[in-house]
Amino acid sequence: MNFYRSHVLICGGTGCTSSSSDKIEEEFNKIILDKKLESEIKVVRTGCFGLCEAGPIVIVYPEGAFYSHIKVEDVSEIVEEHLLKGRIVKKLLYKESVSDEKIKSINNVDFYKKQKRIALKNCGVINPEDITEYIAMDGYLALGKAVTEMTPEEVIKTIKDSGLRGRGGGGFPTGLKWQFTAQAEGNEKYVLCNADEGDPGAFMDRSVLEGDPHSVIEAMTIAGYAVGANQGYVYIRAEYPIAVKRLQIAIDQAKEKGLLGKNIFGTDFEFNMEIRLGAGAFVCGEETALIASIEGERGMPRPKPPYPANKGLWQKPTLINNVETYANVSSIILKGSEWFKSIGTEKSPGTKVFALGGKINNTGLVEIPMGTTLREVIYDIGGGIPGGKKFKAVQTGGPSGGCLTSEYLDSPIDFDTLTELGSMMGSGGMIVMDEDNCMVDIARFFLDFTVEESCGKCPPCRIGTKRMLEILEKIIEGNGEPEDIDRLERLAENIKTSALCGLGQTAPNPVLSTLKHFRDEYEAHVNEKKCPAGACKSLLSYRIDPEKCKGCTLCAKACPSSAIEGERKEIHFIHDDRCIKCGACMEKCPFGAIKLA
Amino acid sequence: MKSLEELKKIREEAIKNVNLRKENDGIKIVVGMATCGISAGARPVLMSLIEEVNKRGLENVTINQTGCIGICRLEPIVEVYPSDGEKVTYVNMDSEKAKKVIAEHIVNGNVVEEYTIGYVEK
């Protein structure tokens, strides 16, 4: 066995891989071989480190040196200086980790300090394709403990007592779900994992599967033992290729080690697991639609009840949980329900993973204890809004959620508070918006998404959301009538109460919550035909400032629709009826005479 | 996997592979690895330190390299920083001496006087 003096961890999440972290890994291996350091230095490809904004990320241990924005050309310098001579290459370090001439290790950077990692504990720490690294981090100990030392009832009781709630968005008590499935009659039961994460801008589940696939396999096996199931399926979208690949490798390794299959830990318990690929329809994240899709049917929701716990896959009792929910299970079994309850808030114990995106400095993946305030997430961890712009709102819960304004920045994040404030936890997308974002346009964006993703089974969703989108588009184009806002509200309420599944019932939320907090913006669009944020093109017009115009004719030459008139050395004029609002004139004007109004 | 014991055995072995990545407030051992150190034979010293620490499963020890310590004529130099207290500087090191430092100083807590800079430079 080789003893390595240093480990080089390279992020292998989707974000860093798309900015060539695979090539960086190759380069490290090549140069390390050249320098004959291969027996001293180990190169490991991990899951997501979370601070995607700084990617591609390379961490060198034992120092915990945090290199950010690494390019293939930087590799030779890191090897020669740091790995060979022990001199950390300061100029390549993440900017915040070098302060006052002192170098901070990755764990002391602000972005990580306020986080508490349970579901992501191994992400960015272990090699997801090596089961022994997972075992080294106490992996499969919880499964061993559950099947050899606990009864299924004790396992369920522990999960119930912990207060763990479904992390897919609903927040239903996980232990109860387990109990219902265990109590349901039938000798054939199933355990499913919902990995059909589809909210725009969300990548929590994807990152867990990419960075720590064994945690999901272990938890599903524990769940199988608890509810009396022998077969598990992970339903994951095919557009997550890295997650699919690593999960398959992990399943194969678990089988080989006898952690899946017959006689697990020498008991009579048998559990097998397979992957089912989804085609990427948003509605398949709804549990009954997901079940239909696994059965080979068209992915459409079924009326509930009966709930999956009684009649799920193939009409058999079925337990279905989300990826992040499972990722919490083994820690709860090992450390106990009291430990879990000590984190977070009373009604929402534990942590929650959020994908932080939009107008924020530290785009990335964060895991925080429940009860952390929005301000702490956005400013302390997220590093605030770029360019000194003003915070306007934060959108949580994706297309089913809503917006929260600056007055709620100090509200604690948990299931119940967010619902009370008119948004929701959702699966964990968190999109920050600044003064340049038009809220009507944001509502249109999410409606556009739900119209596209509506499965078409029930009319309120199929027809209703389409009508709502049309009204929004009309408003944005400047053709809104005063009654439109009321119409929009009425439609929204109707769809909410009459749609068949969660997708339809929550589809109007982005409209309702923006109407609630930003009604004045809607009214400005409709009554004054103005977009206060300056985002809706149709409501803008370009004007030439007569004071600044020198009559150089550059704008008129640049205009593709001949909308600008004016003689040489005379003040020019834009005809609104011909202007297509492309902005070409504004770019060309050397005197800054063209403005948006 | 036939039993919990079997899993724990695999875990014991595997832990050695990932220990390097854990937060560690324990003893730091630093080896001078500038041109002077390397040419005086610091690499074998470093490697035997690592090997010895791993063989003994010492979890609270990290081994690191550093640049030139400044007294090149006494290289290879190894500095030991306990979590509290003063550092000890060993000079003119080799593989055998390195192993002894781990056994005597790190494990048993007795500084190996005859290898320290104070003793050599008397």
**Shortest distance, CA B86 to any CA of chain A (angstroms):** 20
> pLDDT of A133-189, one tens digit each?
999 999 999 999 999 999 999 999 999 999 999 998 889 999 999 999 999 999 899
Q: Do B18 and A258 touch (CB under 8 A)?
A: no
CATH number where A248 lies: 3.40.50.11540
Nearest CA in chain A to B54: A3
Beta strands in A267-374 (DSSP E): 272-278, 318-322, 351-358, 364-369
**Among B21, B56, B77, B78, the residue to mutate for chain A (most A Cβ within 10 A):** B21
- Does residue A121 sit within a domain? no
**Is residue A535 domain-resident?**
no
Chain B, nearest residue to A269 by Cα = B2
- B1:A63 CB<8 A: no
Q: Are residues A199 and A289 in the same domain?
A: yes
In angstroms, the CA A434 to CA A457 distance is 37
- The answer to whether residue B6 is domain-embedded is no
Do A262 and A144 lie in a common domain?
A: yes
Last residue of a domain, one of A477, A498, A527: A527
- Residue among A3, A85, A257 whose CB faces B54 most closely: A3
Nearest CA distance, B88 vs chain A (angstrom) = 20
Q: Under an 8 A CB cutoff, do A63 and B64 touch?
A: yes
Confidence of residue A113 (pLDDT cuts 50, 70, 90): confident
The verdict on A337 and A461 lying in the same domain is no
Q: Is residue A122 in some structural domain?
A: no
Q: 3-state class of A308 per DSSP?
A: coil
Q: What is the pLDDT of residues A465-511, one digit of tens each?
A: 999 999 999 999 989 999 999 999 999 999 999 999 889 999 999 99
- Which chain A residue lies closest to B42 (C-alpha atoms)? A85
Q: Are strands A272-278 and A231-237 parallel, antiparallel or unpaired?
A: parallel
The verdict on residue B13 lying in a domain is no
**How confident is the model over A265-283, as pLDDT tens digits?**
999 999 999 999 999 899 9
A42 CB neighbours in chain B (<8 A) are 17
Q: What is the mean pLDDT of residues A571-578?
A: 90
Range of the domain at B46: 24-120
In a domain, A119, yes or no: no
Does residue A116 form part of some domain?
A: no
Residues A532-574 have pLDDT tens digits of 988 888 888 888 999 999 999 999 999 999 999 999 999 999 9
Of A60, A111, A110, A109, the residue nearest A89 (C-alpha): A60
Structural domain including A166 reads 131-341
What's the CATH code of the domain at A455? 1.20.1440.230
Final residue of a structural domain among A275, A307, A341 = A341
Nearest residue to A123 (alpha-carbon basis) of A22, A208, A239: A208
Distance CA A75, CA A69 (A): 11
Residue A499 is predicted with a pLDDT of 94
Rg of chain B on CA atoms, in Å:
16
On whether the CB atoms of residues B90 and B77 are closer than 8 A, the answer is yes
Count of structural domains, chain B: 1
Residue A401: DSSP 8-state: -
Quote the CA–CA distance of A482 and A521 in Å, as a whole number. Answer: 13
Report if residue B105 sits inside a domain.
yes
Together in a domain, A330 and A261: yes
Closest C-alpha among A498, A525, A524, A495 to residue A510: A495
Out of A102-106, A499-503, A511-515, which region has the weakest mean confidence (pLDDT)?
A: A102-106
| Residue B10 forms part of a structural domain | no
User: Is the pLDDT score of A1 beyond 60?
Assistant: no
CATH number at residue A33: 3.40.30.10
State the DSSP code for A173. Answer: B
Specify the pLDDT at position B22: 76
Do A518 and A439 meet the contact criterion of CB atoms below 8 Å apart? Answer: yes
Looking at residue A551, which CATH number applies to its domain?
A: 3.30.70.20
Within a domain: B16: no
Residues A150 and A273 placed together within one structural domain of the fold: yes
- Domain assignment present for residue A186? The answer is yes
Looking at the fold, whether A221 and A198 belong to one and the same domain comes out as yes
CB nearest to A264's CB, from B1, B20, B24: B1
- Is residue B17 included in any domain, yes or no? no
Question: Among A175-184, A190-199, B109-118, where is mean pLDDT lowest?
Answer: B109-118
Residues A506-529, mean pLDDT to the nearest whole number: 93
Q: Which chain B residues are Cβ-neighbours of A135 within 8 angstroms?
A: 7, 10-11, 14
**Whether residues A218 and A321 fall in one domain:** yes
Alpha carbon distance A576, A190 (integer Å): 63
Query: What pLDDT band is residue A17 in, cutting at 50, 70 and 90?
Result: very high
CB contact at 8 A, A291 and A308:
yes
Q: What does the alpha-carbon distance between residue A70 and residue A24 come to, in Å, rounded to a whole number?
A: 8
| Encoded tokens for A398 | 């994706």
Helix, strand or coil, per DSSP, at residue A534 = coil
Q: Are residues A257 and A157 in the same domain?
A: yes
Question: Least CB-CB distance to B17: which of A5, A133, A140?
Answer: A133
- Measured between alpha carbons, how far is A391 from B117 in angstroms, rounded to an integer? 59
DSSP H or E stretch at residue B60: none
A519 and A380 belong to one structural domain: no
Encoding tokens for residue B54? 């791993």
* pLDDT at A215 (0 to 100): 97
Within a 13 Å sphere around the CA of A243, how many CA atoms are in the beta-carbon half? 27
Q: Which chain A residues are within 8 Å of B14, Cβ to Cβ?
A: 132-133, 135-136
Rounded Cα distance, B61 and B46, in Å? 13
Query: Considering the domain boundaries, does residue A1 fall inside one?
Result: no
CA distance A254 to chain B (A): 9
Tell me how far apart the alpha carbons of residues A337 and A339 are, in angstroms, rounded to a whole number.
5
Residue of A nearest to B28 (CA): A62
Statement to judge: residues A453 and A427 lie in one domain:
no
The CATH number assigned to the domain holding B37 equals 3.40.30.10
Evaluate whether residue B11 is within a structural domain.
Answer: no
Structure tokens at A342: 């000590």
Residue A26 confidence class, pLDDT cut points 50, 70, 90 = very high
Q: Collapse the DSSP code of A574 into the 3-class scheme (helix H, G, I; strand E, B; otherwise coil) and give the result.
A: strand
pLDDT at A2 over 70: no
Please indicate, yes or no, if residue B14 is contained in any of the structural domains: no
Residues 35-54 of A with CB under 8 A from B: 40, 42
Per-residue pLDDT at A523 exceeds 60: yes
For A61, the closest of B2, B21, B55 (CB atoms) is B21
Q: Does A571 touch chain B (CB under 8 A)?
A: no
On whether any CB of chain B is under 8 Å from the CB of A138, the answer is: yes
Average per-residue pLDDT in chain A? 93
Looking at the structure, tell me whether residues A557 and A590 fall in a common domain. Answer: yes
The pTM of the full predicted model, rounded to 2 decimals, is 0.88
In a domain, A346, yes or no: no
A84 in reach of chain B (CB within 8 A)? yes
Give the CATH number for residue A390: 3.10.20.600
Asked if residue A314 and residue A196 are part of one domain, the reply reads yes
Please tell me the total count of domains within chain A: 5
Residue of A nearest to B20 (CA): A62
Q: Is the separation of the CB atoms in A109 and A94 below 8 Å?
A: yes
